[in-house]
Amino acid sequence: MNGKIFITRRIFDEIVTFLESTFEVSGNPADRVLTPDELRAAAAEADGLLALLTDRIDQDLLDASPRLKVVANFAVGYNNVDIDAATARGVLITNTPGVLTDTTADFAWALLMAAARRVVEADRFVRSGRFDAWGPRMLLGHDIHHRTLGLVGMGRIGQAVARRAGGFGMKILYYDPHPVPAEALAGLDARSVTLDVLYAESDFISIHVPLVEDTHHLIDDAAFGKMKSDCVLVNTSRGPVVDETALVRALESRTIAAAGLDVYEHEPDLAPGLKALDNVVLTPHIASGSHATRMRMCQMAADNLVEALGGRQPPNLVNRDAWDRRRQ
Ligand code: 8YV
């Protein structure tokens, strides 16, 4: 056996069987997030962890995990990991990029359309028995076709959302601090703009940035103040990118028209007043949640464990310096 791995949450049986062919596998039997103490106790015995974004991989945990060589995050995002602390110990961190791009982009569109055309509200209206006849001004929403979509972040998922906007005849604006390769923009009528121009000109704003120091509360009261009053905001990235109490204020005061949220600042808790609002669609962090994509994400995390604990550089290594450190 190539070492001991611990799986922090129940995953697909097929992947457990796959891992058991190489490793001594143990895992969290319960379908709930482990407490920090439980996670620390498990990690103390492990050479590798298959972890989720709900697992805090910090200095404390790493200090208490003398055998730990690799953490395979079952996610493309890795803001749950203290990368510097891991790299300092030569602990490899991997993620699951690419395989979830289209599934997540589809869901961003589902939220955008549900919020713009009030789908959830309308469903509740019909279920409540209030639909007694057609009405000319009933539950009117906002057009999507031929409007302007603003993308905050133009990485893989932002680009995939932009590609879908083509079918709606939309104008695309994007803001990304990092240069976007020309080939990624090929065929897309997308214009790079400043955030202020994006806020001022977009009818829809969709967020596709990682949670890092610079993106924490990127969307705040000041940003909402620059947006159109009929703007619809969509967030499938990370909750703390948006100041959620400011968002509640903006939705209550109709500073913006509506929002579609899959992530929350203090997930799974919601900011006070959010769930009472009609002009917001709320989902529980399921954007990458298709059967096929979650299975692929899980297989990718497992493959990274096999490579790393087999002494080979894992394909989806996030902290290259840790690999160099391990080889010294
Ligand atoms: C995951 C995500 O489902 O990949 C990410 O970064 O947020 C989602 O796709 C979630 O992180 C599970 O760990």
CA 62 to chain centroid, in Å, comes to 24
Q: Output the pLDDT for position 326.
A: 83
Q: What's the half-sphere exposure (Cβ side, CA atoms, 13 Å) at 199?
A: 15
- Counting from 1 in the atom list of ligand 1, the atom nearest the Cα of 286 is 3
Contact 75 CB / ligand 1 (< 6 Å): yes
What is the rounded average pLDDT of the residues 173-190? 92
CB 79 within 8 Å of CB 210 = yes
Contact 77 CB / ligand 1 (< 6 Å): yes
% pLDDT > 70, the chain: 100
**Token representation of residue 266:** 């203090």
Q: Output the pLDDT for position 127.
A: 98
pLDDT band at 103 (very low <50, low <70, confident <90, very high): very high
**How long a stretch of residues is the chain?**
328
Contact 74 CB / ligand 1 (< 6 Å): yes
Counting ligand 1 atoms within 8 A of each CB, the residue from 288, 291, 316 with the most, and so the one to mutate, is: 288
pLDDT (tens digit, 9 = 90+) per residue, 31-81?
Answer: 899 999 999 999 999 999 999 999 999 999 999 999 999 999 999 999 999
- Counting from 1 in the atom list of ligand 1, the atom nearest the Cα of 104 is 9
The CA 328 to ligand 1 mean position distance, Å, reads 32
Contact 318 CB / ligand 1 (< 6 Å): no
Q: Output the pLDDT for position 325.
A: 86
**Token representation of residue 89:** 């110990």
What is the rounded average pLDDT of the residues 230-247? 98
- Which residue has its alpha carbon closest to ligand 1 atom 6? 77
What is the rounded average pLDDT of the residues 5-26? 96
Q: Determine the Cα–Cα distance for residues 281 and 259; give it in Å rounded to an integer.
A: 6
CB 52 within 8 Å of CB 294 = no
Beta-strand ranges (E) seen in the chain are 4-7, 24-27, 48-51, 70-73, 92-94, 148-152, 171-175, 190-192, 204-207, 232-235, 258-261, 280-282
CB 105 within 8 Å of CB 76 = no
**Token representation of residue 201:** 């000109």
Q: Output the pLDDT for position 2.
A: 79
Q: What's the half-sphere exposure (Cβ side, CA atoms, 13 Å) at 299?
A: 10
What is the rounded average pLDDT of the residues 137-142? 97
- Counting from 1 in the atom list of ligand 1, the atom nearest the Cα of 288 is 9
Sheet architecture: strand order including 92-94: 24-27, 4-7, 48-51, 70-73, 92-94
Q: Is the pLDDT of residue 279 over 80?
A: yes
Q: How far apart are the first and last CA of the chain?
A: 25
CA-to-CA separations, 155 to 76, 177, 254, 292, 318, in angstroms, rounded: 12, 10, 30, 22, 16
The catalytic site residues sit at 238, 267, 285
Contact 154 CB / ligand 1 (< 6 Å): no
Q: Is the pLDDT of residue 1 over 80?
A: no
What is the rounded average pLDDT of the residues 84-96? 97
Contact 52 CB / ligand 1 (< 6 Å): yes
Q: Is the pLDDT of residue 286 over 80?
A: yes
The CA 89 to ligand 1 mean position distance, Å, reads 25
Q: Output the pLDDT for position 189.
A: 86
Per the listing, tokens 């990682």 go with: 210
- Counting from 1 in the atom list of ligand 1, the atom nearest the Cα of 100 is 9
